[in-house]
Chain A
Amino acid sequence: MTASTARILRSRPVSDWPGHRLAVTEKMRLDCGVDFGPFTIAYQTYGTLNAERSNAVLVCHALTGDQYPADPHPITDHPGWWTTLIGPGGVLDTDRYFLICANVLGGCMGTTGPKDLDPATGEPWALDFPLITIRDMVRAQKRLIDHLGIESLFCVIGGSMGAMQVLEWVASYPDIVFAAVPIAGAARHSAQNIAFHEVGRQAIMADPDWCGGRYLSLGRNPARGLAVARMAAHITYLSEPALHRKFGRNLQDRNAVSWGFDADFQVESYLRHQGSTFVDRFDANSYLYITRAMDYFDLAAEYDGMLPQAFADSKARLCIISFTSDWLFPTAESRELVHALNAVAANVSFVEIETDKGHDAFLLHEPELFATLRGFLAGCAEHRGLARAEG
Chain B
Amino acid sequence: MSGSATLGLPLGAAAPGGASGPAGLRSDLRLIAGMIDPHARVLDIGCGDGALLAHLAREKAADSRGIELSQSGVNICVSHGLSVIQGDADSDLAAYPTGAFDYVVLSQTLQATRHPRQVLEDLVRIGKRAIVSFPNFGFWRIRLVLLAHGRMPATGLLNHQWYDTPNIHLCTIRDFVVLCDEIGIRIGQSLTLDRHGRPYRLDPRGSLANLLAEQGVFVLSREKI
Interface residues of A (CB under 8 A from B): 317, 319, 338-340, 342-345, 347-354, 368, 371-372, 374-376, 378-380, 382
Q: A342-B92, A345-B96, A345-B100 are in contact. Are A352 and B71 (CB under 8 A)?
A: yes
Q: Are A338 and B85 in contact (CB under 8 A)?
A: yes
When distances are taken between beta carbons in the complex, the residues of chain A under 8 Å from B71 are: 351-352, 354
Q: Are B92 and A339 in contact (CB under 8 A)?
A: yes
Q: A347-B65, A348-B83, A351-B86 are in contact. List 4 more A-B contacts (CB 8 A).
A: A342-B96, A343-B95, A349-B84, A354-B71
When distances are taken between beta carbons in the complex, the residues of chain B under 8 Å from A380 are: 81
Q: Are B92 and A371 in contact (CB under 8 A)?
A: no
When distances are taken between beta carbons in the complex, the residues of chain B under 8 Å from A348 are: 65, 83, 85
Q: Are B63 and A339 in contact (CB under 8 A)?
A: no
Which chain A residue lies CB-closest to B63? A347
Contact with A along B68-111 (1 / 0, CB 8 A): 00010011011111111111000010011100110000000000
Contact of A342 among B41, B78, B82, B95 (CB under 8 A): B95
Q: A371-B79, A375-B78 are in contact. Are A350 and B95 (CB under 8 A)?
A: no
When distances are taken between beta carbons in the complex, the residues of chain B under 8 Å from A378 are: 81
Min CB distance A338 to B, Å, is 5
Interface residues of B (CB under 8 A from A): 41, 63, 65, 71, 74-75, 77-87, 92, 95-97, 100-101
Min CB distance B97 to A, Å, is 6
Which chain B residue lies CB-closest to A340? B95
Min CB distance A339 to B, Å, is 4
Contacts between chains A and B (CB distance < 8 A), count: 68
* 10 nearest A-B residue pairs (beta carbon): A379-B81, A375-B79, A345-B100, A350-B85, A342-B95, A339-B95, A371-B79, A349-B78, A349-B83, A343-B95
Q: How far is the CA of A354 from the CA of B65 in the complex (A)?
A: 23
When distances are taken between beta carbons in the complex, the residues of chain A under 8 Å from B74 are: 349-352
When distances are taken between beta carbons in the complex, the residues of chain B under 8 Å from A342 are: 85, 92, 95-96
Most chain A CB atoms below 10 A, which of B79, B82, B96, B100: B79
Q: How far is the CA of A73 from the CA of B87 in the complex (A)?
A: 40
Q: Are A374 and B96 in contact (CB under 8 A)?
A: no
13 pairs from A and B in contact (CB 8 Å cutoff): A317-B83, A338-B87, A342-B95, A343-B96, A345-B41, A349-B78, A349-B82, A349-B84, A350-B85, A351-B78, A352-B86, A375-B80, A382-B81
When distances are taken between beta carbons in the complex, the residues of chain A under 8 Å from B86 are: 350-352
Q: Are A368 and B75 in contact (CB under 8 A)?
A: yes
Min CB distance A208 to B, Å, is 50
When distances are taken between beta carbons in the complex, the residues of chain B under 8 Å from A376 are: 78-79, 81
When distances are taken between beta carbons in the complex, the residues of chain B under 8 Å from A375 are: 78-81
Q: Are B75 and A319 in contact (CB under 8 A)?
A: no
When distances are taken between beta carbons in the complex, the residues of chain A under 8 Å from B63 are: 347
When distances are taken between beta carbons in the complex, the residues of chain B under 8 Å from A319 are: 78
Min CB distance A278 to B, Å, is 34
Min CB distance A92 to B, Å, is 15
Which chain B residue lies CB-closest to A377? B81
When distances are taken between beta carbons in the complex, the residues of chain A under 8 Å from B87 are: 338, 350
When distances are taken between beta carbons in the complex, the residues of chain A under 8 Å from B77 are: 349
Q: How far is the CA of A379 from the CA of B87 in the complex (A)?
A: 21
When distances are taken between beta carbons in the complex, the residues of chain A under 8 Å from B78 are: 319, 349, 351, 372, 375-376
When distances are taken between beta carbons in the complex, the residues of chain B under 8 Å from A371 are: 75, 79
Min CB distance A227 to B, Å, is 38
Min CB distance A386 to B, Å, is 13
Min CB distance A331 to B, Å, is 9
When distances are taken between beta carbons in the complex, the residues of chain A under 8 Å from B97 are: 343-345
Min CB distance A80 to B, Å, is 24
When distances are taken between beta carbons in the complex, the residues of chain B under 8 Å from A340 are: 95
Min CB distance A31 to B, Å, is 29
Q: How far is the CA of A239 from the CA of B96 in the complex (A)?
A: 34
When distances are taken between beta carbons in the complex, the residues of chain B under 8 Å from A353 are: 75
Q: Are A372 and B75 in contact (CB under 8 A)?
A: yes
When distances are taken between beta carbons in the complex, the residues of chain A under 8 Å from B84 are: 349-350
Min CB distance B168 to A, Å, is 24
Which chain B residue lies CB-closest to A322? B86
Q: How far is the CA of A372 from the CA of B82 in the complex (A)?
A: 10
Q: How far is the CA of A301 from the CA of B97 in the complex (A)?
A: 21
Which chain B residue lies CB-closest to A344? B97
Which chain A residue lies CB-closest to B96? A342
Min CB distance B61 to A, Å, is 11
Min CB distance A378 to B, Å, is 5
Q: A345-B96, A345-B100 are in contact. Are A374 and B75 (CB under 8 A)?
A: no
When distances are taken between beta carbons in the complex, the residues of chain B under 8 Å from A351 are: 71, 74-75, 78, 86
